[in-house]
């Protein structure tokens, strides 16, 4: 079962300033091997068991590492593991660790660090937001439900440099999970020394990755990463340091870039159109889906329950939206019209190489069609025995969310005159709380892929999942998701085809209205080389970055 996750943790703004630019207006150290990066939100924690926001993940991904990591194009690469063996039944993985890996204090990193870290994270007392990703590892679900002790988790050290992980069922994306910070090793001595304060400042943090954190006191808005002299592969780390500061204004970022003070800045709205032809323009796709959810069980107006459970009403609302107009004319930030719930370019058919979104595409569920929208609407109203409807549309209060909500309201009310839409723009934290409690009619939601497998999206609509805030419950869909997760046939093509079926069920039922796939547009100085930014999972990899 997936835990609730704030979309804001996935959409943080990244701005970069290289130390090559003498005009850079800050007091941070400037060297030819130094980068100055700006993030849009404060650093929350350096504890891998508790990190869930973008900034914390960004820092952890570069100060720590696990068995594996994601390289360019999300390809899995060995890091702390030098060898991986898998049992014939696919239920056991044995990782052989490199013997030259050390913590930043110079102490050896061993198998027990993985065992301790995993057990600590899965322990209900730790209350890790990402503990749900352990589901499928032996006894993990029972531990999270309080039925077994956390020390019964399916991980065991086989001597000093071998770790065996046992699963309850095959997990097709298991290796992708191993690159995530929540599966990193943890140093027991350091964690127990600082107890609840572990990870709350640089001084109370220990690392095993290419960089170590310096200068963060827990609340200040600037800090830096310094090359880790104890890192086993330090020869591959080209930067001596990376300085960070919090910058929350994209317009400020653009001004700084234009005056030679920043090396990279995110573009929004009209900025994209103005700068799209620049040689410095970069577009990074994000595996983030922005979509509408219906409250099928308990909308704020009880009379709407029948309306939202009427397929014709749901289809009318979807076909009344011109997604091309939304992305190109309203947002204008490089985002793409949604073809379905699962984002494009996330995963490919293991046999044909076809993109999942293309194979699972149900055109009639997302293609703008005003004529059919009106027909579905009139048919739905007739079935309900009503002449008009008034619904509430819940949205965040940031500019992009406001623009999206206003667009939806305008299209619905102009095309479906019997419909009145009450837009409510509220802070993201309040919107998430109301969504979780079912206090909404229709809500604009967002989900970013934890890893590059369609199931990270499809899980959300299985009954009982915390992401299913609208209460969708389809027995055929539920059974299919169980089969996909358990993969009893151990056949990836069968599993793939089942995921395609699941996506098509969602889209034909129209219980979700996908709007667009998030993209991030940047201006970036050409001096930055080898910066890896992945669309899903661990996104930022600075290990091999250099300046030319």
- pLDDT value at 19 more than 70: no
Confidence at 265, pLDDT banded by 50, 70, 90: confident
pLDDT at 399 (0 to 100): 82
Neighbours of 174 (CB within 10 A): 17
Per-residue tokens: 177 = 């999970």
Measured distance CA(437)–CA(461) in Å, rounded: 16
**Does residue 186 share a domain with residue 50?**
yes
Q: What angle do CA 170, 176, 177 make, to 5 degrees?
A: 75
Confidence at 8, pLDDT banded by 50, 70, 90: very low
pLDDT digits (tens, 9 = 90+) for 266-287: 888 788 889 999 999 999 889 9
- Domain contains 106: yes
- Domain contains 207: yes
Measured distance CA(468)–CA(476) in Å, rounded: 16
Q: Is 379 helix (H, G, I), strand (E, B) or coil?
A: helix
Q: Give the number of domains in the chain.
A: 2
Q: Strand 389-396 to strand 241-246: parallel, antiparallel, or no bridges (unpaired)?
A: unpaired
pLDDT digits (tens, 9 = 90+) for 172-211: 999 999 999 999 999 999 999 999 999 999 999 999 999 9
Q: Residue 426 is part of a domain; what is its CATH number? A: 3.10.105.10
pLDDT at 95 (0 to 100): 99
pLDDT at 22 (0 to 100): 35
| Residue linked to tokens 């997990």 | 171
pLDDT, mean of residues 76-84: 96
**Does residue 535 share a domain with residue 479?**
no
pLDDT at 32 (0 to 100): 67
Q: What angle do CA 76, 80, 83 make, to 5 degrees?
A: 70
Q: Residue 239 is part of a domain; what is its CATH number? A: 3.90.76.10
Q: Which range marks the domain in which residue 470 is found?
A: 287-519
pLDDT digits (tens, 9 = 90+) for 235-264: 999 999 998 878 777 788 888 788 877 777
- Domain contains 270: no
pLDDT, mean of residues 327-335: 91
What is the share, in percent, of the chain residues with pLDDT greater than 70?
94
**Does residue 313 share a domain with residue 168?**
no
pLDDT digits (tens, 9 = 90+) for 112-134: 999 999 999 999 999 998 898 99
Neighbours of 388 (CB within 10 A): 10
Please tell me the pTM assigned to this model.
0.83
Confidence at 413, pLDDT banded by 50, 70, 90: very high
Q: What is the mean pLDDT of the chain?
A: 91
Spell out a b/e string for 250-271, using b for 16 or more CB atoms within 10 Å of the CB, else e: beebbebbeeebbbbbbbbbeb
Confidence at 31, pLDDT banded by 50, 70, 90: low
**Does residue 529 share a domain with residue 438?**
no
**Does residue 346 share a domain with residue 207?**
no
| Residue linked to tokens 């937001």 | 129
**Does residue 14 share a domain with residue 158?**
yes
- Domain contains 52: yes
Distance set, CA 372 to CA 378, 391, 511 (Å): 10, 21, 18
Q: What angle do CA 353, 513, 502 make, to 5 degrees?
A: 45
**Does residue 136 share a domain with residue 181?**
yes
**Does residue 330 share a domain with residue 213?**
no
pLDDT at 490 (0 to 100): 81
- Domain contains 347: yes
**Does residue 163 share a domain with residue 71?**
yes
Inter-helix orientation angle 370-384/311-319, to 10° = 150
**Does residue 228 share a domain with residue 359?**
no
User: 213 pairs with which residues across the strands?
Assistant: 225
- Domain contains 2: no
Neighbours of 146 (CB within 10 A): 8
Confidence at 27, pLDDT banded by 50, 70, 90: very low
Measured distance CA(531)–CA(158) in Å, rounded: 36
Cα-Cα-Cα-Cα dihedral of 53, 59, 65, 71, to 10°?
90
Instruction: Using alpha carbons, select from 333, 331, 304, 302 the residue that is nearest to residue 317.
Output: 304
Confidence at 34, pLDDT banded by 50, 70, 90: confident
**Does residue 308 share a domain with residue 200?**
no
Q: What angle do CA 59, 245, 33 make, to 5 degrees?
A: 75
- Domain contains 257: no
**Does residue 71 share a domain with residue 46?**
yes
* Upper half-sphere CA count for residue 387 (Cβ side, 13 Å): 0
- pLDDT value at 453 more than 90: yes
- Domain contains 398: yes
């Amino acid at each position: 079962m997936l835990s609730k996750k704030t979309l804001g943790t996935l959409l943080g703004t990244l701005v970069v300033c290289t130390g090559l630019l003498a005009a850079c207006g800050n007091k941070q150290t400037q060297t030819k091997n130094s980068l100055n990066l700006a993030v849009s939100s404060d650093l929350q924690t350096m504890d891998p068991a508790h990190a869930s926001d973008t900034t914390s993940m960004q820092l952890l991904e570069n100060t720590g590492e696990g068995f594996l990591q994601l390289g360019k194009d999300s390809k899995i690469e060995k890091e702390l593991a030098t060898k991986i063996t898998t049992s014939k039944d696919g239920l056991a993985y044995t990782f052989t660790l490199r013997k030259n890996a050390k913590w930043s204090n110079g102490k050896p990193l061993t198998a027990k660090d993985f065992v301790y870290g995993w057990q600590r994270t899965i322990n209900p007392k730790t209350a890790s937001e990402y503990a749900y990703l352990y589901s499928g590892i032996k006894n993990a679900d029972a531990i999270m439900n309080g039925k077994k002790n956390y020390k019964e988790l399916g991980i065991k050290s086989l001597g000093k440099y071998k770790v065996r992980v046992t699963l309850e069922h095959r997990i097709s994306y298991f290796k992708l999970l191993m690159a995530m910070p929540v599966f990193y090793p943890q140093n027991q001595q350091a964690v127990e020394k600082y107890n609840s304060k572990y990870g709350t400042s640089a001084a109370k943090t220990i690392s095993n990755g290419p960089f170590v954190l310096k200068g963060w006191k827990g609340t200040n808005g600037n800090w830096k990463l310094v090359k880790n002299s104890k890192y086993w592969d330090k020869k591959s780390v080209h930067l001596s340091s990376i300085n960070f500061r919090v910058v929350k204004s994209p317009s400020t970022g653009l001004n700084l870039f234009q005056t030679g003070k920043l090396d990279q800045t995110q573009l929004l709205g009209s900025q994209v159109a103005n700068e799209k032809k620049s040689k410095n323009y970069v577009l990074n796709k994000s595996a983030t889906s922005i979509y509408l959810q219906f409250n099928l069980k308990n909308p704020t107006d009880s009379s709407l329950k029948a309306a939202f459970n009427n397929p014709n009403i749901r289809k009318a609302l979807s076909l009344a939206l011109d997604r091309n107009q939304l992305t190109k004319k309203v947002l204008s930030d490089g985002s793409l019209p949604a073809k379905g719930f699962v984002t494009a370019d996330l995963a490919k058919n293991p046999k044909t190489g076809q993109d999942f979104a293309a194979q699972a595409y149900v055109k009639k569920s997302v293609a703008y069609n005003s004529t059919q929208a009106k027909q579905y609407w009139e048919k739905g109203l007739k079935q309900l025995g009503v002449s008009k409807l008034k619904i509430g549309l819940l949205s965040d209060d940031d500019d992009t969310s406001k623009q999206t909500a206003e667009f939806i309201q305008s299209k619905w009310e102009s095309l479906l005159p019997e419909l009145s839409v009450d837009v409510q723009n509220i802070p993201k934290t309040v919107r998430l709380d109301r969504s979780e409690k079912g206090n909404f009619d229709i809500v604009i939601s967002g989900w970013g892929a934890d890893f590059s497998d369609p199931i990270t999206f499809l899980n959300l609509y299985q009954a009982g999942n915390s992401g299913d805030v609208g209460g969708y419950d389809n027995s055929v869909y539920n059974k299919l998701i169980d089969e996909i997760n358990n993969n009893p046939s151990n056949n990836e093509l069968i599993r793939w085809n089942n995921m395609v079926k699941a996506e098509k069920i969602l889209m034909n039922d129209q219980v979700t209205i996908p709007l667009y796939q998030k993209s991030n547009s940047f201006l970036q100085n050409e001096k930055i080389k080898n910066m890896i930014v992945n669309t899903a999972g661990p996104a930022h990899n600075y290990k091999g970055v250099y300046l030319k």
